[in-house]
Structure 1
């Protein structure tokens, strides 16, 4: 461990969070990213208290507060008639109950503050334009080869390389994915292009028939992020992500909801993702290899926990790794410790998706009425999410 660095594959949120956490423990680490530069996609990300506690404990409190929004409220509404089903005071409740805020930010801003903090400590450990080709685990190290034919050796390889993880392919060669019959549209719009009515709306979830649409302000740059999911019979493209067009987006969400129509009308280049069901990935670890985040447990976006759970993974793993205390048992324990929570998060995300997409009019009436009535009595959203938000990856007992 002392002579060879830990090798992280991927400079996204999970890889950079892990790299920073290890650096702060004075552990030798290097990060390799296949793209030519740090990610600059403008999509939004929810950082709930279980995620903001991580950023704060990494010393990034001031930076994230300067770049992200703290939404006061969140609303759930009927997509077709606009009826308010539930409204929750979000940040006062979060900071009072969980001690940390709820942020909504641009993904690239979160990545950049992690990247900048790493560079402040050591500006020579992140390498761009390095796509993993193959690796081989040895008794006392791992041998790694990249597509540019460069070769390195490390004490450990950690795959933070997303849903199509090269590290994950080696650990789970027979894993398969199946289209979930759901696609997700995403986009970012300048607030100045929207009416005052839409600009003044809080983060809102519009619940429709086999679809839902979410929008919220992100960052301090006067931008609105949206994500809309809708049922589809097929996904014909080989890639899980592709550029979409406004006309197809209108077909999926237009002609019913004036707020959604206005948002769609002002988007330049929508993107769309096919959401795939990946049978729960069996192997997250081997002797000298680990996968975390989307590489280990892809998650439906309907609970906003993909990025947060990836940061949790990074901190828990960093706590189990040290120069003087590393073994295969630690890695196996990492998977054992995380699996129960991750499975519950995945099930909760899928449950939310089903509730948001209910088509049966009787079930819809029952559930929407229940949301409306319960919201008058209790802080429904906070109570439902309490088990998620109270998790502190730095403080939770792991042994």
Structure 2
């Protein structure tokens, strides 16, 4: 039913499931080499999930520069959370504070723009989508693999054939579910996060910007509640009246909650409950954290997230022509800020290890397996280190300078949990 002739196989596309960072970056690589591809995304458009996160890109930057087409690399600064600040030479040290006392407990070294940048996921994703035809509203269901091709089946009943299916569909990947059957579930971490965006005037942002122009984090020694404040957008001219837009996230270990846990619904009452929790928790903090977080308006949309991860396991073979990339393969908590970096390197390794074999039926499956083994070896320690960082972030009295929460971010870790 899914077979095709030899001449047809030469024209079969790489099927990319998911128009996130890894999926779009892969599409750009294929576009550069005139390799046929199709990108399918379950969302209806870019706005379905909101503005998203701020991202720190560091050790993946050499890989990103190799993968990005020249014209897109020239536009990379347009994705920065504060391009003007970077051009003024401002850098982040990602300081860590005791929220209860206001004391700074740690920071990372200052790095140049060549070594570390801070981007908004929304703008970065739209940059990567330049020239890419995304087929929206396509929900992956299953695949059918043969020795010569593979078919992706979608919930709308459509079927599309390709040379390869690359699952880039996030931490709750449907491709992973179809590929791994009973072993696809994420590992729950007993941490709940409340996140929201906050637009403030320059004078309100001033005390936070004095601590760091881009990002800061901390744990309250009294309650073990963790918080980070991440700049998403800043005025780009001195006389601009635009607001500073921040992402604020507050989280705690659910086995020792600081207050009543809000319901999972997004009803108006649940939203008010979440806002009340944020205000109650933050009123115990030192300045400037207390006053800043207390600025949260009554109409704020607060998102709730129960943290989980997915450490890939050695010995999980690819289903022939189906493989996983990015969060679909190695979903990790955000407490080390490395997920996007690993996803970018995944794409570079896919380019180097798999794409040269795309039209070689005899070697493609082995190339996919070798790619998977390399990704697992690199990312499983990273997932477990991020899990430990997440748990340490909510355990002040056992938090040490050697915690993965505070140690150097790097591509290869020796960490087995």
Paired residue secondary structure (2:410): helix
Equivalent residue for 1:247? 276
Mapped pair 1:224 → 2:257: no
Quote the Cα distance in structure 2 between the aligned partners of 1:133 and 1:238: 26
For residues 235 and 306 of structure 1, do their structure 2 counterparts lie closer, same or farther at Cα, with a shift above 3 Å needed? farther
Q: 1:301 deviation in Å?
A: 0.6
Q: 1:284 deviation in Å?
A: 6.5
Equivalent residue for 2:411? 388
Which residue, out of 394, 399, 414, partners 1:357? 394
Equivalent residue for 1:341? 378
Mapped pair 1:62 → 2:74: yes
Q: 1:389 deviation in Å?
A: 9.0
Q: 1:253 deviation in Å?
A: 4.0
Quote the Cα distance in structure 2 between the aligned partners of 1:389 and 1:191: 38
Is this contact kept in 1: 2:311–2:384, CA < 8 A?
no
**Deviation string, structure 1 residues 35-71 (Cα, Å, up to 9, x no partner):** 1112562233323222333333313333221331453
**Deviation string, structure 1 residues 375-394 (Cα, Å, up to 9, x no partner):** xxxxx96xx4263399xxxx
Quote the Cα distance in structure 2 between the aligned partners of 1:144 and 1:112: 25
For residues 164 and 235 of structure 1, do their structure 2 counterparts lie closer, same or farther at Cα, with a shift above 3 Å needed? farther
More helix by share: 1
Quote the Cα distance in structure 2 between the aligned partners of 1:189 and 1:50: 29
Which residue, out of 36, 40, 46, partners 1:38? 46
Mapped pair 1:310 → 2:349: no
Aligned length: 361
Mapped pair 1:197 → 2:207: yes
Mapped pair 1:73 → 2:93: yes
Is this contact kept in 2: 1:6–1:28, CA < 8 A?
yes
Equivalent residue for 1:129? 137
Quote the Cα distance in structure 2 between the aligned partners of 1:331 and 1:140: 14
Q: 1:173 deviation in Å?
A: 1.0
Paired residue secondary structure (1:257): coil
Q: 1:327 deviation in Å?
A: 0.6
Is this contact kept in 2: 1:7–1:155, CA < 8 A?
yes
Quote the Cα distance in structure 1 between the aligned partners of 2:134 and 2:62: 25
Is this contact kept in 1: 2:19–2:40, CA < 8 A?
yes
Is this contact kept in 1: 2:192–2:307, CA < 8 A?
yes
Paired residue secondary structure (1:143): strand
Q: TM-score, normalised by structure 1?
A: 0.81
Is this contact kept in 1: 2:233–2:245, CA < 8 A?
yes
Equivalent residue for 2:286? 257
Q: 1:16 deviation in Å?
A: 0.6
For residues 173 and 10 of structure 1, do their structure 2 counterparts lie closer, same or farther at Cα, with a shift above 3 Å needed? same
State the structure with bigger RCO (CA 8 A, min sep 6), 1 or 2.
Answer: 1
**Deviation string, structure 1 residues 310-368 (Cα, Å, up to 9, x no partner):** 111122112221344561011101111111220221232223234332243xx45xx37
Is this contact kept in 1: 2:59–2:410, CA < 8 A?
no
Equivalent residue for 1:85? 105
Unmatched 5+ stretches in structure 2:
1-8, 236-243, 256-260
Quote the Cα distance in structure 2 between the aligned partners of 1:327 and 1:288: 8
Quote the Cα distance in structure 2 between the aligned partners of 1:333 and 1:264: 47
Which residue, out of 298, 302, 308, partners 1:276? 308
